[in-house]
Amino acid sequence: MSDLLQPLPRWIDVGVIPVLNVSMAMIVSSILLLVVGIEPVEAVTIMLHGAFGYDEGIGYTLYYATNFVFTGLAVAIAFHAGLFNIGGEGQAYIGGLGVGLAMLLLDSSMPAFLLLPIALIMAALFGGAWALIPAYLQAYRGSHIVITTIMFNFIASAIMVYLMVNVLIMPGQQSPQTREFAESAQLPFMHEVFAWFGVNISQSPLNLSIVWAVICCIGLWLFIWRSRWGYETRAVGFNEKAAVYGGINPKRVVLISMCISGALAGFVGFNEISGVHHRLILNFTAGYGFTGIAVSLMGRNHPVGIVLASLLFGMLYQGGAELAFEVPTVTREMVVAIQGFVILFSGALAYMSTPFLTRLYNRWK
Amino acid sequence: MKLLHKLATASTILMLSSAALAVDIKPAVVFDMGGKFDKSFNQGVYDGVERFKTETGISYREFEVTNEAQREQAIRKMAQRGLSPIIGVGFAQGPAIEKVASEYPNLKFTIIDSVVDLPNVQSVVFKEHEGSFLVGILAAMSSKTGKVGYIGGMDIPMIRAFGCGYAQGVKMADPSIEVIQNMTGTTPTAWNDPGRGAELSRGQFDRGVDIIYAAAGGTGVGVYQAAKDAGKMAIGVDSNQNHIHPGTMLTSMLKRVDVAAYNSYKAAYEGNWKAGIHVLGLKEDGVGWALDEHNASMITDAMKAKVEQARADVISGKIKVHDYRSNNACDI
């Protein structure tokens, strides 16, 4: 029966289904809010206003979105090669380590126009190298990449704690953090950039790395759909055996796509360390690597979709914080629950409504 | 109905007039990642501000952060609304408090477990090593196997300072006793991993340890349970945890963050709030050991005498307890 049905057109798949999924998440969240005794409409208004209603809120939303774009793109490129990179968290962590080490070493002797590109390259190099090891193990030793990347998250965390507690810590200091980088190693905040042009906006962690995130989106689109390597990547992702028949070396594809994936995740370190904290600290990745998986799934592994999904998750993070701040009865656990519903419906249950919609579409067509 | 109205008005006026004696304050608190119900550090602050609320009827504004970027954001939001004093819980909030406090020089800020050198910031730090030193003495005197254990939470200098003070106490009471130390983990989940806490405890018991001091937040719950199951002993931390398993809990190392939080609000309320560094050690009763009806039977008179003597010696300066954080090393 169902094989007689026509598949859904693209506009429903990428347009209607995500909206439907978010709506379902919102309905379930509303029930949760009602149970606790909060007006859902009011809650959503607060969230939207907190995320997009004033310049500081927009700044935070875009700052979160920047991280999600990096990790979302990282998951997407691996996904196109048929790989599931769960190691974004660790790759971002190590990418940040690369940035931190380079800046601590060089910031006294170099000007900003040299330091910032170095930071960018270090983030990519370290993040990419951290992904290369699981990629090698997958390609040449058959260790499954899901397992190895998860384990590499823990190794990254352990390395960072060891270095921060024993080696890099600023002496006479309670919390494990390094000294602050020199001014020249700090990526300008957007409120500083705007101030150069005489425009005053409120402070937020949003910095110039958002420009780099946009460049990465365009670059990844060109790579996947307009380059030979991208073609090879997609070929391996669709059908590895067919790709081999077509003269493609899947081992090489695994290595290249994972390195790019790791480098993209590493840019979270660039955003956080060069752009926001200006020093190496622990746990700056804050789960962005894992959320990137949901972002990529929701964005259908396409840069445009990832940007939209990142904005949604940025809104959830910033609006959620605003909600917890404004309404004392909303605990942070409830905010996490609402975020969880969105991830559940748009990530894990992404195609739940497809069979139903397909039947509906075929009847009304 | 009218009478009721009058009564209500009268009582309002009464309340207003009594409040007029004190300064009208709008306090706020920003809890850290552990959350206000972590049964340990953050909850201590929560208890303190709740006590202030019930005593004065002044409510406070609160926020629990979930990631690094939110600390500064939350503190700044509190400041934008003119709330004061604003309490930042934990050393991780130090840089954020520093930044926001310099932007709002007219507001009062209190940071717990860190030092921020600004004219409008009150920094409250504790000499955890002194309190740990005392419970180390008690552990050494209670041990029958000649081995005692320490389980820390996340591996950071402060938690090493707990362990270092403890080891010094043990060695002072009996140099032949061996101290076995373990850290729960390297990420913040180490603060809330009772399963792993229990696992580490069983490992230490197998190596002959018969009493474990846990400075690990929520992880400690697992340590205490494992000690109870194995018929060994444990020492609590931060708040008085003696009541959790009477007969198993030898004592608790008290770190009075509740007092620090309460005092900040109270002082602002009474108009005598002072900025500067407040170091709370044994002398200031900021740290100590817990003796109550739950562990009275386990503490002999000899132990009590010895630990009180040590306490007096530390206060007088006769005994110097080395602080791991002073040189990032524990040389005992």
What is the predicted pLDDT for the residue at A261? Answer: 97
Distance from CA of B162 to the nearest CA of A (A): 13
The answer to whether the CB atoms of B64 and A335 lie below 8 A apart is: no
Reported as a pLDDT band with limits 50, 70 and 90, residue A252 is very high
**B156/B167 same-domain check:** yes
Of B63, B69, B328, the CB nearest to A171: B328
* DSSP-based three-state secondary structure for B109: strand
**B149/B214 same-domain check:** yes
Q: Report yes or no on B266 lying in a domain.
A: yes
Structural contact between residues A257 and A83, judged by C-beta atoms closer than 8 angstroms = yes
The answer to whether the CB atoms of A174 and B69 lie below 8 A apart is: no
Rounded Cα distance, A293 and A343, in Å: 9
Rounded Cα distance, B92 and B116, in Å: 12
**B95/B153 same-domain check:** no
Q: Which domain holds residue B267?
A: 2-127+258-280
CATH number at residue B198: 3.40.50.2300
**B29/B155 same-domain check:** no
Percent of chain A topping pLDDT 70:
98
Scored b (16 or more CB within 10 A) or e, A173-197 reads bbbbbbebbbebbbbebbbeeeeee
Structural contact between residues A213 and A66, judged by C-beta atoms closer than 8 angstroms = yes
| For testing contact with chain B, the best of A157, A177, A325 (most B CBs within 10 A) | A325
Rounded Cα distance, B132 and B288, in Å: 8
What is the predicted pLDDT for the residue at B15? Answer: 47
The answer to whether the CB atoms of A283 and B325 lie below 8 A apart is: no
A265, two tokens: 């995740």
What is the predicted pLDDT for the residue at A10? Answer: 81
Q: Report yes or no on B332 lying in a domain.
A: no
Q: Report yes or no on B291 lying in a domain.
A: yes
What is the predicted pLDDT for the residue at B296? Answer: 92
Q: What is the mean pLDDT of residues A192-216?
A: 94
> Following DSSP, what letter does each residue of A324-364 receive, concatenated?
HHH-TTS-HHHHHHHHHHHHIIIIITTTTTHHHHHHHHHHH
Q: What is the mean pLDDT of residues A273-300?
A: 90
**B135/B35 same-domain check:** no
Question: Considering only CA atoms, which of B237, B202, B206 is closest in space to residue B220?
Answer: B237
Interface of B to A at Cβ within 8 Å reads 35, 61-64, 66-70, 72-74, 76-77, 91-92, 94-95, 113-114, 125, 154-158, 186-188, 325-326, 328
Residue B328 CA, chain-centre distance (Å), reads: 21
Q: What is the mean pLDDT of residues A129-158?
A: 95
**B290/B150 same-domain check:** yes
Q: How many domains is chain B built from?
A: 2
Q: Report yes or no on B7 lying in a domain.
A: yes
**B17/B68 same-domain check:** yes
What is the predicted pLDDT for the residue at A286? Answer: 87
> Following DSSP, what letter does each residue of B217-238 receive, concatenated?
GGGHHHHHHHHHHHT-EEEEEE
The residue ranking higher by pLDDT, B24 or A32, is: A32
Rounded Cα distance, A75 and A84, in Å: 7
Rounded mean pLDDT of chain A?
A: 91
* DSSP-based three-state secondary structure for B213: strand
The answer to whether the CB atoms of A321 and B73 lie below 8 A apart is: yes
What is the predicted pLDDT for the residue at B14? Answer: 45
What is the predicted pLDDT for the residue at B67? Answer: 83
Question: Considering only CA atoms, which of B264, B208, B268, B258 is closest in space to residue B238?
Answer: B258
Q: Report yes or no on B313 lying in a domain.
A: yes
**B306/B166 same-domain check:** yes
Mean pLDDT in each 10-residue stretch from start to end of chain B (332 residues)? Answer: 54 46 84 81 91 94 88 92 93 90 95 92 94 96 96 89 96 95 84 91 96 91 95 92 92 93 94 92 92 93 95 94 88 72
**B75/B209 same-domain check:** no
- Taking each helix axis from N to C end, the angle separating B41-56 and B257-270, rounded to the nearest 10 degrees, works out to 30
Q: What is the mean pLDDT of residues A7-33?
A: 86
Rounded Cα distance, A44 and A174, in Å: 39
**B84/B160 same-domain check:** no
Q: Report yes or no on B40 lying in a domain.
A: yes
Scored b (16 or more CB within 10 A) or e, A75-84 reads bbbbbbbbbe
**B184/B313 same-domain check:** yes
What is the predicted pLDDT for the residue at B134? Answer: 96
Structural contact between residues B95 and B247, judged by C-beta atoms closer than 8 angstroms = no
Instruction: Record the pTM.
Output: 0.84
Return the C-alpha torsion angle B14, B15, B21, B24, nearest 10. Answer: -150
pLDDT in tens, A159-170: 998 898 788 888
Is the torsion defined by CA of B303, B308, B309, B310 positive or negative? positive
**B183/B276 same-domain check:** no
What is the predicted pLDDT for the residue at B2? Answer: 54
The residue ranking higher by pLDDT, A65 or B34, is: A65
Q: Does A174 touch chain B (CB under 8 A)?
A: yes
Q: Report yes or no on B166 lying in a domain.
A: yes
What is the predicted pLDDT for the residue at A356? Answer: 85
| For testing contact with chain A, the best of B65, B66, B127, B196 (most A CBs within 10 A) | B66
Of B73, B113, B154, the CB nearest to A60: B73
Q: Report yes or no on B222 lying in a domain.
A: yes
What is the predicted pLDDT for the residue at A140? Answer: 95
The answer to whether the CB atoms of B91 and A175 lie below 8 A apart is: yes
HSE (side-chain half, CA atoms, 13 Å) at A45: 6
What is the predicted pLDDT for the residue at A11? Answer: 82
Distance from CA of B183 to the nearest CA of A (A): 12
Distance from CA of B158 to the nearest CA of A (A): 6
